[in-house]
Structure 1
């Protein structure tokens, strides 16, 4: 499977909550680094993080770019908050592929609808 197809499949299996299918896409030496927290997960830990994430509902692929053994996807993720309201996040996942499997991911997560800090934009 080429890099673009592998990343598209990644989004599909996460959206479907197919955790066994997720593990099948990951290289045995897989690592994922979350930029915003500094955490690093191995293959089993990253599958467990996704499977056990509280309230996770959907992952919708919005953009994908790939060349050779590198690619990036951007997706919108929805979770049910503890108060019942939807929480919406966006993730950019930068991937390296080895032997047809995802070998490394670096993920950048953010909440949607954040406001720019005061004083950081030109006055209108």
Structure 2
């Protein structure tokens, strides 16, 4: 698969909670780094991290940009918090493909309901 197909397939598998099929798009040397925490996961750790993430419901793809073997997916992720409150996050996933599989992913996550810092807007 090319980078666009891989990124799109990745998002579809995550949205479908298809944790058994997810390793099939990840290279044996796969690494994912979460920018906001500094954590780095290998293929098995990252699949387990996603499968076990509490409250996750949906991943809605909003944009995909690809050039060569690199691509970026921007998505909105929704779920429920510990007390049942709705949660929403934005994620930008920067991916690199090799040998028809994803070998690297760098994810940047943000809450979508953050307020601008006081005094920074007129």
Q: CA deviation at 1:119?
A: 2.1
Deviating above 2 A after TM superposition, structure 1's stretches of 4 or more consecutive aligned residues are: none
Structure 1: unaligned runs, 5 residues or longer: none
Equivalent pairs, count: 122
Offset at 1:120?
2.0
**What TM-score do the two structures reach when normalised by structure 1?**
0.96
Query: What are the Cα deviations for residues 82-112 of structure 1, in whole angstroms up to 9, with x where unaligned?
Result: 1111100010000010001000000000011
Question: TM-score, normalized by length of structure 2?
Answer: 0.97
Structure 1 residue 114 corresponds to structure 2 residue 114: yes
Q: Tell me how far apart the structure 2 counterparts of residues 50 and 77 of structure 1 sit (CA, whole Å).
A: 12
For residues 66 and 98 of structure 2, the distance between their equivalents in structure 1, rounded to whole angstroms, comes to 14
Distance in structure 1 (CA, Å) of the matches to 2:51 and 2:79 = 13
1:5 lines up with 2:13 in the alignment: no
Q: Identify the residue that residue 97 of structure 2 maps to in structure 1.
A: 97
Structure 2 residues not aligned, in runs of 5+: none
SS in 2 for 1:29: strand
Report the Cα distance in structure 2 between the residues aligned to 1:104 and 1:120, rounded to whole angstroms.
Answer: 36
Aligned counterparts of 2:36 and 2:57: Cα–Cα separation in 1: 21
